[in-house]
Amino acid sequence: MSTIIGQKAPELQLYDTERNLVNLADLQGSNVLLLFFPLAFTGVCTKELCSVRDNIAAYNNINAKVLGISVDSPQTLARFKEEQHLNFPLLSDFNKEASAAYGCLYESFIGWMKGVSKRSAFIIDKDGLVQYEEVLENAGELPDFEKINQKLAELN
């Protein structure tokens, strides 16, 4: 996969768990951390997003907006968000357009599922440019949050 660091971030127009349309362009002026994850209610995804939940104050303190994105339906994500007490928006990429635009879509996942988001992290700066990109082939791995937090601190 070729890097998109330094380029204008692909536009996102996705629905959140309350069925509100979220546009990446509307968040310009803030740094944005996009966290694509394979599927709600799975062990590693739950671990990752609950860790972000537990550290949300750090992101808020540096004016960084966190968005979790998966191909799950808004209804599934709403239940996941409620059960895990997640305190940041989850967006449904049910049509797989955002995952494809960011180059983080499995053609085949665990052998038979088609079109699941790869666990990935992207930082979009206040001007809408991609400043960090991490796309993991192994869904059992987590993004490097130390590097992510360092890059967000630099951008603040």
17-28, pLDDT tens digit by residue? 999 999 999 999
Does the global pTM surpass 0.85? yes
Instruction: Compute the mean pLDDT over every residue in the chain, rounded to the nearest whole number.
Output: 94
On whether residue 50 sits in a domain, the answer given is yes
Structurally, the chain folds into a number of domains equal to 1
Q: Is residue 116 part of a domain?
A: yes
Residue 7 lies in a domain: no
Range of the domain at 50: 13-22+29-138
Looking at the domain assignment, is residue 86 inside a domain? yes
Q: How far apart (Å, rounded) are the C-alpha atoms in residues 128 and 123?
A: 9
Is residue 93 in a domain?
yes
Residue 146 domain-assigned? no
45 in catalytic set? yes
- Rounded Cα distance between 100 and 65, Å, is 22
- CATH number of the domain encompassing residue 126: 3.40.30.10
Active-site annotation holder among 24, 32, 39, 45: 45
Place of tokens 């996009």: 34
pLDDT tens for each residue of 21-77: 999 999 999 999 999 999 999 999 999 999 999 999 999 999 899 999 999 999 999
